[in-house]
């Protein structure tokens, strides 16, 4: 672990020790589960479409619902949704992976969603 994050192994050891002493932190980190594999990197090979959305305010309510609704209106079902936690990631993204490539005419509709700053489609 230390090599992967380029710190001294003692730093990793001390961090683990400190986490095990603090009950609240220990409970949180012992219960975190993996969200599973992401289809983002293999979407093209699988014939899927990917929409990445960056929000002005990642706590804005309704961005996911409205974006998935636009895809549904274009006959695209959602295979996977990945959402970065704004408290853990300084540049959070909402990623929707759909059943087919997203048509260009959907992009301006997604950009009109209140709170959406940027949309990337691939």
Q: Are residues 73 and 56 in the same domain?
A: yes
Separation CA 121–CA 114 (nearest Å) = 18
Q: Are residues 44 and 94 in the same domain?
A: yes
How far is CA 98 from each of CA 1, 40, 71, 109, rounded to the nearest angstrom? Answer: 35, 10, 8, 16
Q: Are residues 55 and 115 in the same domain?
A: yes
Each as own residue / partner, the long-range contacts of residues 34-42 (CB below 8 Å, 24 or more positions apart, any chain) are 35/82, 38/80, 38/82, 39/79, 39/80, 39/97, 40/82, 40/95, 40/97
Q: Are residues 63 and 89 in the same domain?
A: yes
What is the tens place of the pLDDT at every residue in 23-32?
898 898 889 8
- When pLDDT is cut at 50, 70 and 90, the band that residue 78 belongs to is very high
Q: What is the pLDDT of residue 70?
A: 98
Q: Are residues 110 and 54 in the same domain?
A: yes
Separation CA 116–CA 110 (nearest Å) = 8
Q: Are residues 47 and 27 in the same domain?
A: no
Q: For the chain, how many structural domains are there in total?
A: 2
- Please check whether residue 78 is in contact with residue 39, taking contact to mean a CB–CB distance below 8 angstroms: no
Name the percent of the chain lying above pLDDT 90.
Answer: 66
101: pLDDT strictly greater than 90: yes
In terms of pLDDT, which residue wins out, 99 or 87?
Answer: 99
112: pLDDT strictly greater than 90: yes
Name the percent of the chain lying above pLDDT 70.
Answer: 100
Q: Are residues 19 and 70 in the same domain?
A: no
What is the tens place of the pLDDT at every residue in 51-67?
999 999 888 999 999 99
- Please check whether residue 92 is in contact with residue 85, taking contact to mean a CB–CB distance below 8 angstroms: yes
Q: Are residues 52 and 101 in the same domain?
A: yes
- The boundaries of the domain holding residue 9 are 2-31
Separation CA 17–CA 51 (nearest Å) = 40
Q: Are residues 111 and 54 in the same domain?
A: yes
Q: Are residues 25 and 48 in the same domain?
A: no
- When pLDDT is cut at 50, 70 and 90, the band that residue 109 belongs to is very high
Q: Domain holding 89: CATH number?
A: 3.30.70.260
- Please check whether residue 78 is in contact with residue 70, taking contact to mean a CB–CB distance below 8 angstroms: no
List the structure tokens of 38.
Answer: 């992401």
């Amino acid at each position: 672990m230390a090599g992967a994050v380029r710190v001294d192994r003692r730093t990793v050891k001390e961090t683990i020790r400190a986490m095990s002493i603090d009950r609240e932190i220990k409970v949180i980190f012992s219960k975190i589960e993996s969200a599973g594999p992401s289809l983002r990197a293999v979407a093209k090979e699988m014939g899927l479409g990917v929409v990445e959305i960056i929000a002005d305010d990642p706590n804005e309510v309704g961005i996911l619902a409205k974006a998935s609704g636009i895809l549904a209106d274009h006959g695209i079902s959602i295979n996977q949704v990945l959402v970065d936690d704004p408290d853990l990631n300084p540049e959070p993204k909402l990623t929707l992976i759909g059943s087919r490539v997203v048509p260009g005419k959907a992009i301006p509709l997604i950009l009109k969603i209140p709170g959406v700053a940027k949309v990337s489609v691939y």
